Amino acid sequence: MVQKVRKKDKKEADQVNLAHNLERDMAVMRERIETLEKIVTDEKYDLNRQFDELKKDKVA
């Protein structure tokens, strides 16, 4: 019976660790998304993208 309790405790601890890891990963991804949103909404980025598209059209 003691073994069952230990297995249950380990399983619960594993689930808590997994939840913490997922929360940490989500926080990191949110930061990355915020950074990408800033880059993509930057006017200079849009202007450079438009220039690149014009260059592609000129070559084609």
**CA end-to-end distance (rounded Å), the chain:** 75
Q: For residue 35, what pLDDT is reported?
A: 93
Distance CA 33, CA 29 (A): 6
Q: What is the reported pTM?
A: 0.60
Which residues in the chain land under pLDDT 50?
A: none
Q: Are 39 and 45 in contact (CB under 8 A)?
A: yes
Buried b or exposed e, range 2-41, using 16+ CB within 10 angstroms: eeeeeeeeeeeeeeeeeeeeeeeeeeeeeeeeeeeeeeee
Task: Report the length, in residues, of the chain.
Answer: 60
Q: For residue 60, what pLDDT is reported?
A: 61
